[in-house]
Structure 1
Amino acid sequence: MSTTTPDLPAAPETRTAYLVLGALSLCHMLNDTIQSLLPALYPVLQANYALSFTQIGLLHFAFQGTASVLQPAVGFATDRRPRFRLLALGMGLSLAGLVTLAFAHAYGVLLLAAVSIGLGSAIFHPDASRLARLASGGRYGTAQSFFQVGGNAGSALGPLLAAFIVLPFGQSSVAWFSVLALLGMIVLWKVGSWARARHRERAAARVAPARDPRLPRRRILVIIGILALLVFSKYVYVVSLTSFYTFYLIETFGVSVRESQLLLFVFLGAVALGTFVGGPIGDRIGRKAVIWVSILGVLPFTLALPHANLLWTAILTFVIGVVIASAFSAILVYAQQLVPNRIGLISGLFFGFAFGIAGIGAAALGILADWKGIAFVYRLCAWLPLIGLLTVFLPPDNALKSR
């Protein structure tokens, strides 16, 4: 496994900046808590506005699509010229979307709120991921997992907060969570100050830029295409659970809305757990091995899920969450090793593609659910992990060393 750190100097950045990683992870949790409130509210919004599954899917697409389109542009821009207050600005846009969501009175206003939250995510994810790598001290997988587990924790908290706060107190109670965005803006302002100081240190030390990758350009493009297909399989399956799992539980097992939210929290908590352990494992055994296990290894469990009773549904979704969670961290770090001189751009491309495919997937699955039913959606999506067989075409980690 490659352990080269071509984009970082030997000193003093060989030390992992855990305080910075902790701050980024905290803000990732706050950011994703805010954005996870939107899908967690779908049952409430469906009742308040008489929404169809198609409208719910399009609402999710408005959020995911906005983030998808803009993230690569943000990553490209920050590679060329770092913007040290951009992260705080992005959190401010998420705050605006949250308040708009709380007081929306029509479907069009809900779409506007979703777009505003998407803009905040478009700014946050690529730039924060770039800073996480800068703070990694060469432990790239560990740093990305540390950063991303905050997001997973935030995604898990959304349904829990919806179940115990938003459902009893109504849609307007979403505004209470604006304090989370304000806290995030303060922390990210401090992180921006650290990043500016680090940038000046590197400039004063005349740190050499990252070297070109070892593999030829055409081969890199093919590998990125394979990685994109793996992201497709992971995120379309995950969005089938994050967007429609509550409806599946209510329709199939007759559980209450609160019980469905708690079971969604179990799945999202499992995703957080899998993300936390996946990065350090990838640093030890290599990213390719993690990709094999996290994508293809989940197939037996996804195939069993549509045929399980309520207890086994909860157990299987927990296992699926743990196993599949480490896929994105491993794929992202693998791609960053491919193109070490374009960390922001690669982060933006993969975060953007993940958001975009999740948004398109949500819209498509919503239409399919209206047409064929929720149960059919899960029988079809169960086969998505077969795409993990493409991992065989990825070169080993040690082939990604820079020349």
Structure 2
Amino acid sequence: MTGPTARPTPPVDPSPPPRAPAPSATTSTRPAAPPVSAWRRMRMWGAAHAVDDLYQGLVPACVPYFVLDRGYSYVAASGLTLAAALGSSVPQPFIGVAVDRYRLGRLAPAGLAVAGIGLGLSGLVRPYAAVWLLILLSGLGVAMFHPAAGKAAREAAGDSASAMSVFAAGGSVGFFLAPVLATPLLVAMGVGATAFFIPPAVLMAFVLLRHRPVAAATRKAAGAGRDRWRPFLVLTGVAVVRSAAFFGAVTFIELFWIRHLHSGPDLAGAALTCFLAGGVAGTLLGGRIADRLGMVRTVQLGGLLAVPALIALRLTPGTVLPLLFALLTGLALNIPFAVLVKLGQDYLPGRPGTAAGVTLGLAVSIGGLIAPALGAAAQAYGPQGVFTILCAVPVPALVLGLFLTEPDAGD
């Protein structure tokens, strides 16, 4: 009785199974792509991040002109970088905790406005103390923006490192645009030209105020999981070291071209532009690499490539050929950038604002705190001495990267 009833069934079932592999293939090892609406939000947050970090990029872009126009020493000039770093680093952990605990939807646009107005006014005042305080205020605006924006961007990006790299690359674009937009104005008008950069912050703040946050269900899904503090602290160490190398290079690269390679200000501005353009490319490339090879390997790759790139930049003679290595150095240092932001939020899924505040803000800004020490080195040995030191800076990041684990692995 069982034989006749079972015989017709084998020929009937083979047709449905071929349809099954198509859906399963899209959910294999690679993260699923965010929906189209999420990509729109990522572009908006990437644009906002670009405007915000424009004001961080304007600080090193303006430093040489404060030296030339106001007669600041190397130490005084690096103190301006210190002011921006202090303003953005000290408050960020507390702001990140507040963002995770309370609904602070208007914090990001408010931070944008403060960052732009503070930096824009800094070139209009004469006393050094007033300049320093205004740049400190601008850094505080950056501290207000990053945790809130980083949390919102992660909610829109989901599990895609490529999508998160759009947000992170926005910051690199802001740094890139700073010398491109500022150098012609600063050359023509002096440091008072910073006033022209107040309107972008105000306009972008209005755009963010009109933005609707993502659904609560998305926020709840993004916060699921167990917080893992030990790998997060290791990751923070990597981010601090990467930031130290980045801020050291971005602060002194123009002076390296002017004082050591004996070029003019225009070619020195091109060197900074190449370095920051490499940073944009490296940030986007890092997200692509992470979606294919994994986030930890991408962080390790960035540390591995940064050392030879910096050595080549330091030792290559001439004024034009080193521009290539300025580009490659920016690329290598920024390959891990977006990955550090996403990996930090994966380690602390219950505290995305805190994680963003540390990886985007505190760790990055602490790197700027070494500026006075590098300024003292430049005072004693010239800008070339700074780049000699920077050749060794990425080594600790490479070592720390060996202790990182993927988020789904055990401690």
TM-score, structure 2 normalization: 0.87
> Using a 3 Å threshold, how does the CA distance of structure 1 residues 356 and 38 change in structure 2: closer, same or farther?
closer
What residue is the counterpart of 1:144 in the other structure? 164
Which deviates further from its counterpart, 366-375 or 268-277?
A: 366-375
Asked if residue 280 in structure 1 is aligned to residue 297 in structure 2, the reply is no
Cα distance in 2 between the residues matched to 1:343 and 1:14: 21
Cα distance in 2 between the residues matched to 1:111 and 1:132: 31
Cα distance in 1 between the residues matched to 2:44 and 2:224: 29
SS across alignment from 1:399: coil
Aligned to 2:339, which of 312, 330, 335? 330
Cα distance in 2 between the residues matched to 1:376 and 1:45: 21
Cα distance in 2 between the residues matched to 1:54 and 1:235: 19
Asked if residue 122 in structure 1 is aligned to residue 143 in structure 2, the reply is yes
Asked if residue 177 in structure 1 is aligned to residue 185 in structure 2, the reply is no
What residue is the counterpart of 2:387 in the other structure? 378
Structure 1 position 343, deviation (Å): 0.5
Which deviates further from its counterpart, 391-400 or 145-154?
A: 391-400
> Using a 3 Å threshold, how does the CA distance of structure 1 residues 209 and 360 change in structure 2: closer, same or farther?
closer
What residue is the counterpart of 2:39 in the other structure? 18
What residue is the counterpart of 1:232 in the other structure? 240
Structure 1 position 24, deviation (Å): 0.9
What residue is the counterpart of 2:361 in the other structure? 352
Which deviates further from its counterpart, 179-188 or 305-314?
A: 305-314
SS across alignment from 2:369: helix
Cα distance in 1 between the residues matched to 2:245 and 2:120: 30
- Which residue identity does 2:181 align to in structure 1? L
User: Structure 1: any 5+ residue segments left out of the alignment?
Assistant: 6-12
Aligned to 2:104, which of 83, 96, 99? 83
Structure 1 position 265, deviation (Å): 0.5
Measured on the aligned residues, the alpha-carbon RMSD in Å equals 2.3
Deviations 1:236-263 (A, max 9, x none): 1111211011111111121111220121
Cα distance in 2 between the residues matched to 1:209 and 1:165: 43
What residue is the counterpart of 1:9 in the other structure? none
Q: Contact 2:80/2:135 (CA < 8 Å) preserved in 1?
A: yes
Which deviates further from its counterpart, 127-136 or 49-58?
A: 49-58
Structure 1 position 280, deviation (Å): 2.5
Report how many residues are paired: 382
Cα distance in 1 between the residues matched to 2:221 and 2:165: 27
Q: Contact 1:288/1:397 (CA < 8 Å) preserved in 2?
A: no
SS across alignment from 2:409: helix
What aligned pairs does 1:4-403 form with structure 2 within 5 A after superposition?
17-139=38-160, 141-191=161-211, 194-195=212-213, 198-199=215-216, 207=220, 210-213=223-226, 220-309=228-317, 310-387=319-396, 388-399=398-409
- Which residue identity does 1:66 align to in structure 2? G
Q: Contact 1:100/1:109 (CA < 8 Å) preserved in 2?
A: no
Cα distance in 2 between the residues matched to 1:273 and 1:22: 16
Structure 1 position 2, deviation (Å): 7.5
Q: Contact 1:288/1:396 (CA < 8 Å) preserved in 2?
A: yes
Cα distance in 2 between the residues matched to 1:276 and 1:400: 28
Structure of greater Rg: 2
Structure 1 position 356, deviation (Å): 3.0
Q: Contact 2:241/2:393 (CA < 8 Å) preserved in 1?
A: yes
Q: Contact 1:296/1:389 (CA < 8 Å) preserved in 2?
A: no
Cα distance in 2 between the residues matched to 1:57 and 1:209: 39
Structure 1 position 351, deviation (Å): 2.4
Structure 1 position 397, deviation (Å): 4.5
Which deviates further from its counterpart, 32-41 or 151-160?
A: 32-41
Cα distance in 1 between the residues matched to 2:330 and 2:271: 12
Cα distance in 1 between the residues matched to 2:327 and 2:143: 28
Residue identity over aligned pairs, in percent, reads 25
TM-score, structure 1 normalization: 0.88
User: Structure 2: any 5+ residue segments left out of the alignment?
Assistant: 1-27
Cα distance in 2 between the residues matched to 1:222 and 1:114: 34
